[in-house]
Amino acid sequence: MKSHALNKLHGFYQPEPPSWMPQTIGWYVVFALIVLLAAWAAWRMFARWRHNRYRRDALRELELAKSAEIPALLKRTALAAWPREQVAALSGEGWLAFLEKHGGRSEFSNSAGHLLLELDYRARTPTKEEEHILREAAADWIRRHRVHV
């Protein structure tokens, strides 16, 4: 008896699921703004990456450079970032002051700075510890310096 009554029932009809497509123009505007913002952010990241190529090249060269070549490498890196008139004539204490002013951390006011000047003006072979300190200070400056032109 029960099975006969159940056979007379028809199945449930489900309505169509709602569309995920936005129904108003406001959502299209929001999506367009999100796409434009993402494109702008990608372009800025690419431009910054291209602009910092000289840093990557300098860090790669620092790994292979002899200790006597580090002062010249720092000068070339600075010349790549600042106008020649600001950097080329600097030497001695003025050069160390420039490195400290634009480097973020004061690494060149201590032994690294004096060692940098000694290597630049005298043929002196630094100890392993001095060379390590100088390389770390130079790598840190190359990574962290900020250009304010």
CA distances from 95 to 4, 23, 116 (A): 100, 64, 10
Over residues 39-64, mean pLDDT:
94
Higher pLDDT, 107 or 78: 78
Segment 15-24, tens digit of pLDDT = 888 888 888 8
User: What percent of the chain stands above pLDDT 70?
Assistant: 91
CA distances from 116 to 46, 94, 99 (A): 34, 13, 11
> What confidence category does residue 106 fall into, taking pLDDT thresholds of 50, 70 and 90?
low
Task: Report d(CA 141, CA 108) in Å as an integer.
Answer: 9
pLDDT at residue 105, as a whole number: 66
pTM, two decimal places: 0.71
Higher pLDDT, 149 or 20: 20
Over residues 51-58, mean pLDDT:
92
Task: Report d(CA 108, CA 111) in Å as an integer.
Answer: 7
pLDDT at residue 104, as a whole number: 65
Residues 43, 127 contacting (CB under 8 angstroms): no
Sole residue written with tokens 């050069």: 95
Task: Report d(CA 116, CA 68) in Å as an integer.
Answer: 9
Higher pLDDT, 42 or 138: 42
In total, the chain counts a number of residues equal to: 149
Secondary structure percentages of the chain, helix, strand, coil, to 5: 70, 0, 30
